[in-house]
Amino acid sequence: MVLLHVGIDDTDSKKGMCTTYLTAVLLDKIESIGRIQIIGYPRLVRLNPNCPFKTRGNAALAFDAEVPEEMLDMLKNLVLDTVRQYADLKEKNTDPGVAFLANNIPRELNELYERALVEIISMDDAISLAKKLNIEIHRFGYGRGIIGAMAAIGCNFRKGYTYEFIAYRTKDNIGKPRGMDKESVVEMDRLTFPYTFDNIDYSTDEIRIMPHTPCPVYFGIRGTDPSQLNRAFQILRPLEPVERYRVYKTNQGTDAHIKEVRIADAKENMSVSIKGRVTGTPKIIAGGHVIFSIADDTGQIDCAAYEPTKDFRSIILNLSDGDIVEVYGGVKKKQKLPLTVNLEKIKVISVAKKMVKVAPSCPRCGRRMKSEGRNKGYQCPKCKFKDVYAMPSFIPKERRIQEGLYTVPPRARRHLSKPAQLYYLL
């Protein structure tokens, strides 16, 4: 028997298809053969969410199979034929890649996965590594998908893992609006919390388990325990048939893409965490976005909470000069604007003390007195008592933000970003 690692990527387009669906179909075909054993769960591996070449969520797929040696070529041909049959090859930006690797996964492939989370890997680098490690690669079109395919094989879940239960639509329903009994989603979320996450965005009353794209995915339930995902599926009341389903092991919800850096080391298209001091006051700009800056001993960088983050922006507006925070998000640059961290979450480490100037109270009637001007003392507006020697006092200002972790709502959360509830489970 040979342990064969298979990686597949970039079979979809914005108009349709999904690499998870292609993989689900392929796995059903393999399991029907009977002599090939799929090992563990297939892997749904999210890579750099800032990649400019991504179709949607920048996911690649991989699985492991124990194969009789005489069936290796047959299995490889089955994989390639399935890609040819299901990949959206008519779209010019669909460039599938398939990778095959036998037996042990070398450390260099784990390193490629780690790089692919935070960098943009070049085709030359991927091809060179494939030759060095004797990885068999197959390119369709330009074949950029070999990068994700190899990275998915190399995924070692160093920062943890979750699971996703994905159900697929029948062919007749693809492209039509998706239907789901909403109350069943609410019930499912209540009964499976905290082992499933991001089922509903309660701030907007929006169901989050169904995509809005014309792909074969009907719905996906994310969680930390496969048994809870199967339980969740039994609770749901779908309004259309489910063609097939699969549970995937995934790096979603793990912050695997986040790299801790100083400001000077932040680069475009990275996802970072940066500790710094808030400088100035957050401000609202056109479009309802909120911008502020942080600084460390290497420089200063802008941070943005965009309009889709909704109430998260109110938290950001309560920050003040001198607060110590750790920001998390993708680093972007637009035209001539400076680098900006697009916030996924923020940890308020310490809140700066602010003092408020308070006028003295009138010793006769107790009312708050008013200043008569610089060095002219205070006078009571009620009883007219005047004291030229009276002085104001300074008291701590009540801050409307506390130390702690604040995350964007589910509707604005990236696949890889860890929700607050998972900090207690993973």
The pLDDT score that the predictor gives to residue 425 is 78
Residue 57's pLDDT band (cuts 50, 70, 90)? confident
Cβ distance 11 to 22 under 8 Å?
yes
Residue 2's pLDDT band (cuts 50, 70, 90)? very high
Strand-pair category, 258-260 with 271-284:
parallel
- In the DSSP assignment, the letter for residue 426 is -
CA 66-41-228 angle, 5° bins: 150
What is d(CA 219, CA 250) in angstroms, rounded to the nearest whole number?
16
The pLDDT score that the predictor gives to residue 56 is 80
What is d(CA 166, CA 211) in angstroms, rounded to the nearest whole number?
11
Model pLDDT for residues 363-404, shown as the tens digit of each residue: 999 999 999 998 899 999 999 999 999 999 999 988 999 999
What is d(CA 142, CA 125) in angstroms, rounded to the nearest whole number?
15
- Burial label, 165 (beta-carbon count in 10 A; 0-12, 13-18, 19+): buried
Phi and psi angles of residue 173, each rounded to the nearest 5 degrees, phi first: -95, -10
The pLDDT score that the predictor gives to residue 335 is 77
- Nearest alpha carbon to residue 416 among 26, 15, 17, 113: 113
CA 18-19-25 angle, 5° bins: 95
The pLDDT score that the predictor gives to residue 334 is 81
* Helix 182-192 / helix 226-235 crossing angle, nearest 10 deg: 150
Model pLDDT for residues 64-118, shown as the tens digit of each residue: 999 999 999 999 999 999 999 999 998 888 999 999 999 999 999 999 999 999 9
CA 413 to chain CA centroid, Å, is 5
Report the percentage of the chain scoring pLDDT > 70.
Answer: 100
Please identify which residue in the block is written with the tokens 């930006």: 93
Model pLDDT for residues 148-193, shown as the tens digit of each residue: 999 999 999 999 999 999 999 999 999 999 999 999 999 999 999 9
What is d(CA 348, CA 291) in angstroms, rounded to the nearest whole number?
16
The neighbouring-strand residues paired with 5 are: 64, 101
What is d(CA 50, CA 147) in angstroms, rounded to the nearest whole number?
15
What single letter denotes the amino acid at residue 358? V
The model's pTM is: 0.91
The pLDDT score that the predictor gives to residue 426 is 65
Cβ distance 282 to 290 under 8 Å?
yes
